[in-house]
Amino acid sequence: MPTTATAATAEEWPSFRGDPGLSGVAAAELPAAPALLWTFAAGEGIEATAAIAGGRVFLGSLDGTFSALDAATGRPLWSRQVEAEIKSSPLVAAGSVYFGDESGAVHALDAATGEPRWRATTGGGVTSSPNLAGGCLLVGSYDNFLYCLDPATGTERWKLETEGYVNATPAVWRDQAISAGCDGQLRLVRLADGRETAAVPLGGYVGASAAIAGNRAFVGSFENQVLGIDLERAAVAWTYANPEGSHPFYASAAVSGELVVVGGRDRLVHALDPTTGEARWTHPAGARVDASPVIAGDRAWVATLAGELLALNLADGRRVWSFETGSAFSASPAVAAGRLVIGDQDGTVYAFGRAPETDP
């Protein structure tokens, strides 16, 4: 059993944001104009981001069905029904797939067969996606606790009480979990024993997950702000706000070495300098952006609540590709094996990639 989740590779996107630091950066590149390769009808709406691992796509839906699909064809391989809505994006590690549900349960299934391995219970809904580091399966709950569970058995190793819901997925930095909470605090928590080593006030309610690059975390709030936090000093390094209006940031950021890319409910995609927080560019998305963007190659891939999937040039924010579905996207893209996979609120899963060659 690995002690830390693996990062995205060209062939796999094993977790909500691709790696333990929640960077939202894909190792795989996509074609300039991806073609629709297949669709799958999941039944009810999808708010969770898919995982791609071992040639399979894993994701849950709001009717409580968790499914494994063939990544090449979209053919269903197995499904498992759980107690409640699934909004928690899965994590795949060491042959298991982990996710939470709105009853407060955390599930571990055999990734090959869908058979249950264990089930743990929290005191509130689990929208947070699992992360894995230091022997902890980390997950937040609406019972106001951050949990460390044994990934092999589901046994609770420790839990840390906060002052609000833990909606966000915990990130990992060095030997600590980085947890942004609805209580407006970003907490640094030691993986070994669950001791809080620092808490950084964020100035308001936070639903987004923090993205880590180097020694900084980046997270948006419901107070019209994106914050860059120096983790070594446990202090806010900079604050960015849209000067033209007050709108929440619910989506998590994607962070490369050169840009912080985040969508807002102001209907804009913002690209910020990670050192200063200054805007490099903004792009009018035409609708609110609650889905977290992914950086792949020289593009940012963004999904909107109007049901449009966009590719933006990282250099200047110019739109270079788009696809309209007609149904809202809350789930974020997963990018691996030359494909982008995403589900919409109507329950349709889309896979885009290079169009198969046809005979002349």
What per-residue confidence (pLDDT) applies to 360? 42
Q: What is the DSSP letter of 13?
A: B
Q: The whole model's pTM is what?
A: 0.96
Residue for token pair 């948006």: 220
3 state SS of 46: coil
pLDDT truncated to tens, each residue of the chain (360 aa)?
555 777 778 899 999 999 999 999 999 989 999 999 999 999 789 999 999 999 999 999 999 999 999 999 999 999 999 999 999 999 999 999 999 999 999 999 999 999 999 999 999 999 999 999 999 999 999 999 999 999 999 999 999 999 999 999 999 999 999 999 899 999 999 999 999 999 999 999 999 999 999 999 999 999 999 999 999 999 999 999 988 777 899 999 999 989 999 999 999 999 999 999 999 999 999 999 999 999 999 999 999 999 999 999 999 999 999 999 989 999 999 999 999 999 999 999 999 999 887 544
Residues facing 312 on adjacent strands: 300, 319
Q: What is each CA distance from 262 to 9, 200, 231, 325, in whole angstroms? A: 22, 21, 20, 22
What per-residue confidence (pLDDT) applies to 3? 59
Contact 215, 208 (CB under 8 A): no
The residues near 281 (Cβ < 8 Å, ≥ 6 apart) are 271, 316, 317
What per-residue confidence (pLDDT) applies to 285? 96
Quote the CA–CA distance of 14 and 178 in Å, as a whole number: 19
Rg for the chain (alpha carbons), in Å? 19
